[in-house]
Structure formats: C-alpha cells, structure tokens
Amino acid sequence: MIIPALILAIASAAAPPVLRAAEAERPAARTVIVQVEGLACPFCVYGLERQFGRLKGVERADVDLGEGKATLRLKPGAKVTEAQIREAVRKAGFKASEIKGIEEAGGSESKAHTGNIERAGDRFLLVTSDGKKYLLFDQETADAEHALDEPTRMKLDALAKEKKRVTVRGAVHEHKGMPKGLHVESVEAAP
C-alpha cells in the first residue's frame, strides 16, 4: 500500500507548479462552488443541503460551514443553471453571493451579447462596448478545440469586415487564460 501512495506523491510533485496552481484555483470538472451568505450554525446547513438535493442535476452537496461554502457535484450529463442554484439557496433562507464553475458545468444560460466581430488569426471574437471579449464557436471537437462550421465562419468574416454591431445569442463558457467562449446559437445585426 505504501508504493502506490509513494508513486502518487511523486507524480503530483512532478507536475509543473503553474499547472498545479491553476488546478487548485479552478473547481474540479462537474463541480460548482457556491458562496453562501448568512450560514453560521450546523442546524441551518440541513435546509441548504435539502434544497440542493431537490435540484435534479445535483448528485451531492457538501457544505463547509466555516467557509460558508457549498460544493455541488453534478450528475454526469446533467445541467444546473445559476438561477436554479440561487433559487435553491434563497429557499433555504440564505443568499448565494458567488457561484464558481457554473460555466464549466454547462449551467450558463443562453443570453444576447452585443458588440463587434473581430478576427484573431483563424478565430473570431465578439468585443462588447465595455471591452469584454468572447471567443466564438459553434462546435466542440473531440480534442476540446472549439471550431466554427463554414457557413458561420463566412458570415462572421463578412460582419468583421463590415464592422457592424451585431447581437450574438448563446451560452458563455469559461476558459482559463483565454477569453470566455461564446457558443453561437444565432448572429443578427444589432438594432
């Protein structure tokens, strides 16, 4: 039993420090971390866990009372939205001040984003008036590289050249170290 543990220790020690720091900062895949305001006694935690347990996509909820934090492990393939999580916390009598990992978990909701299309090498960005940048895609490939199908690519290329304001509707997807990804559902000229 000692040898596997030793190998594990060596393996984790051998990981690049930057990568390990990034992993520590980033929630594990399919988990969502919720910062809860007002949680201060063990008896109050039960109601919070019950409300999280009523969300269909939540497999397990672990609360850290001292940190006021709930870690939700989602069921494979399940989708839980930020609004559902905030509502669950509200029903328990508390407030969710911050929700981390919801976009990685596919819980981001489709919204309209308005700005200009810009080219960045082979890729296209939507740059909003307040300076936010979203990497546009409509396909996720097997190697997790995001891509655009040809008609969408041509349309975005034309809009980039025309420098017209457009409204892109889609769900935002978090990317560490890169602009957020925006899964394009529709592109229209902004009113």
Partner 1 sequence: MRRTFGAVLALLTAASPAFPAPISFNTALPVHEGGLLLRGQGVWMRMHDDPSPAGREADIIAAPTVLVFGATSKLAFMGVFPYLNKALNFPHQAPRRASGLGDIATLGRYEVFERSRRGYTARGAVSAGVEWPTGADDEADALGSLPKPVQLGSGSFDPFFGTVWTAQWLNLQLDADLFYQRNTEANDFRFGDALAQNTSLQYRLWPRTLGAGVPSYLYGVLELNNVYQGKNEAGGASDPDSGGYQLFLTPGLQWVAKRAVIEVAAQLPVVQELNGSALRTDWRLIGSFRVWY
Chain contacts with partner 1 (rule: CB under 8 A): 35-51, 62-68, 90-95, 97
115-122 long-range contacts, CB within 8 A, separation 24+: 115/165, 115/166, 115/168, 116/160, 116/163, 116/164, 116/165, 116/166, 117/156, 117/159, 117/160, 117/166, 118/160, 119/157, 119/160
**Planar angle of CA 106, 59, 109, nearest 5 degrees:** 20
d(CA 92, CA 88): 6
Query: Nearest to residue 20, comparing CAs of 32, 9, 6, 35?
Result: 9
Residue 100 Cβ vs partner 1, minimum distance, rounded to whole Å: 14
**Cβ–Cβ < 8 Å for 136, 156:** yes
Nearer to partner 1, 9 or 93 (CB): 93
Nearer to partner 1, 34 or 136 (CB): 34
Residue 11 Cβ vs partner 1, minimum distance, rounded to whole Å: 24
Nearer to partner 1, 42 or 77 (CB): 42
d(CA 132, CA 150): 25
**Cβ–Cβ < 8 Å for 171, 109:** yes
DSSP state of 28: P
Nearer to partner 1, 36 or 172 (CB): 36
Residue 168 Cβ vs partner 1, minimum distance, rounded to whole Å: 36
Nearer to partner 1, 35 or 167 (CB): 35
Residue 56 Cβ vs partner 1, minimum distance, rounded to whole Å: 16
Residue 22 Cβ vs partner 1, minimum distance, rounded to whole Å: 22
Nearer to partner 1, 37 or 140 (CB): 37
DSSP state of 178: S
Residue 94 Cβ vs partner 1, minimum distance, rounded to whole Å: 7
**Cβ–Cβ < 8 Å for 162, 171:** no
